[in-house]
Chains A and B, each alone.
Chain A
Amino acid sequence: MSPERKIRILIAKPGLDGHDRGAKVIARGFRDAGFEVIYTGLHQTPEQIVAAAIQEDVDAIGLSSLAGAHDYLFPRVIELLKEKGADDIIVFGGGIIPEEDLPPLTQAGVKGVFTPGTSIEEAVHWVRENIKPRK
């Protein structure tokens, strides 16, 4: 029996935001939970993120934003995934995201948003429930 392919996740920091504490903690938490994790590093354009996701053949992209540009950047990533025919890659996000911004993000196709206070365990559980290896 061949072992099941691991879940592959790209953790990405879109835009100019420099707050990477949360992204790095969640990347490490996901790795410790047994997922394969690729971290883009800071200051990535949506184009760079989508290119990395396709190249790395990930199952999901986790976007981190703490500087208020999520309303533009998250939907832009999803739009580009669609353009590239890669919209089977699930997009979720986390960071400082006011409650009133959640419905438009969901509508744009963001599958889950983790706001402050989320434990690593909760995020890992959500990934296991919602993301399956694609092949």
Chain B
Amino acid sequence: MVKEDKLKEVEEKKKGWLEDLAQILQETPERLPRFSTVSDLEIKGLYTPEDIKDITYSSDIGFPGAYPFTRGVQPSMYRGRLWTMRMFSGLGGPEETNRRFHYLLSHGETGLSVAFHYPTLMGYDSDSPMSKGEIGKCGVAVDTLKDMEILFEGIPLDKVTTSMTINPPASILLAMYIVVAEKQGVSRREIGGTIQNDMLKEFIAQKTFMLPPKPSIRIIVDTIEYCTREVPRWNTISISGYHIREAGATAVQELAFTLADGIAYVEAAIERGLKVDDFAPRLSFFFDSHIDFFEEIAKFRAARRMWSKIMRERFMAKNLRSWMLRFHTQTAGCSLTAQQPYNNVVRTASEALAAVLGGTQSLHTNSLDETYAIPTEEAVTIALRTQQILAEETGVANTIDPLAGSYFVEALTDQIEQQAWEYIHRIDEMGGMVTAVERGYPQAEIADSAYKYQKQLDSSEKVMVGVNKYATDQPPITIWRMTQAVEERQLARLRQVKQTRDNQKVKELLNQIRIASKNGENLMPYIINAVREYATIQEICDVWRDIFGRYSDPGYF
């Protein structure tokens, strides 16, 4: 990126700086023996044109909206439209969560994001013995279509897009959403949103798994195939690095494993007979924005560049939209502290800024109390306002990819990309991500990184303010609590639904799912028919558990 004669001049002048520096360091040594990112990537004291001499602007950086998309996926980025402010929400029952949705929308939120409680995430109903003690605590309880009808009451599904963090039962929740829309008079061709539907990272990191990898991927491909035909505005997967990172991965591991998961889904869909340019534009991504500011920005930029190369060179995609890596970001839950929780507002603001400077399409900002529980209304409002301040006061959305051309950011983008390719090549050599997951490879890599980081914290090599430095005693904050009444109401509603629906019909429709599961037909139409008659999530999942078997945690540590 720099002319050769200019580079010579830089080299000459750098010698002078190095001499000055050596003298200064003799008197005052640097604060640390080694400077590194939160992922332990070593960082130099100064970056110069020498560090980006091998980068070519037009082919490596380019223009926003054009290959290789390093600067962003849209030509106008935030000058055209701001990112979607999408707060991950779910608390208690559908009534409480519906109220939270309306509250957030009336305060300027621009998209919905549903957090389901653990039983729903794992394919159990609220009345299962497995659900004891878990109802409504980590998200909203949804057992049947009835709950989804309440959840979206008064929310026009042709106007708002909805993201649902749901994995093994993703197809079922999508089916329910389609039927809720239908009842509002909105066709499935008009609805927009995302299901997470990324099982590979469940085995790797988030650990809400149900079936073994192969049948899990079959159901995912069913949703891709169905949506490509019937629900054209739906993002069929949110290929997620977030949970990989939260489980302890480094930035490079997050990036590499996420893209390797993406490769596996593209291969599976192609194997089904789908054309890459028909489904690839509806693959979306989800990343963590951790506390190390520049490392995250570099990661987001590298992610776009890498995915566009993968789609164009590896899968021969022709459609520009197939090459685009569009992503949602959540600030890093694992960077927040239970101690001195008000400090979390500052951490989240900095992480949100990194996501914006990295060109995210949508953003969830964590609340200050989220290390303890679902946020209170007061806490979630501050988190939403953080995004609004960034968007409308700070001026950071005025120009596109403002850090492009920074010697440091470009060099770091390149470095992260190179290291991520190494992981992807290793996974390719193993035979792809499904095999790597079965062997426990990414799981072991992440556990190693998590342990190393804990050791660095314990030795104070890495600092967490309020935890291993500047610790003080502080009175506890008020947190949100689930109530017994919500649990009772949920159980009563489920009982009532089971009593009042046409049980003979439900039985027949569940049997149809069983047959289609065995003979390899696309399951989506059968699931839609079953949920319309109020079949429960667990009733459908039990069919699958019965046919495909369960995946249980191998318990590596």
Contact = CB atoms under 8 A, between A and B. Distances in A.
Contacts of A68: 134, 137-138, 373, 482
A116 B468 CA distance: 11
Interface in A4-32: 11, 15-21, 23-25, 27-29, 31
B476 A67 contact: no
B339 A16 contact: no
Interface in B322-345: 334, 337-339
Contacts of A16: 118-119, 121-122, 124, 130-131, 134, 208
Contact of B371 (A45, A116, A119, A121): A116
Nearest to A71: B133
A69 B130 contact: no
Contact of B337 (A24, A43, A45, A117): A117
20 contacts: A15-B133, A16-B130, A17-B118, A18-B121, A20-B247, A24-B451, A24-B556, A24-B557, A27-B557, A41-B552, A41-B553, A67-B118, A69-B118, A71-B133, A73-B133, A116-B337, A117-B338, A117-B468, A117-B471, A120-B455
B-side interface mostly: loop
Contacts of B137: 67-69
Q: What class of interface size applies to chain A in its complex with B?
A: 35 or more
Tell me which of A37, A68, A76, A117 has the highest count of chain B C-beta atoms within 10 A of its own C-beta: A68
Contacts of B337: 116-117
A120 B458 contact: yes
B212 to A, nearest CB: 15
A72 interface: yes
Contacts of A19: 207
A129 interface: no
B248 interface: yes
B138 A28 contact: no
B404 interface: no
Nearest to B118: A16
Nearest to B207: A18
Contacts of B371: 96, 116
A127 interface: no
A83 interface: no
Nearest to A73: B133
A122 B208 CA distance: 30
Contacts of B134: 15-16, 67-69
Nearest to A117: B467
Contacts of B373: 68, 96, 98
B454 A25 contact: yes
B488 to A, nearest CB: 15
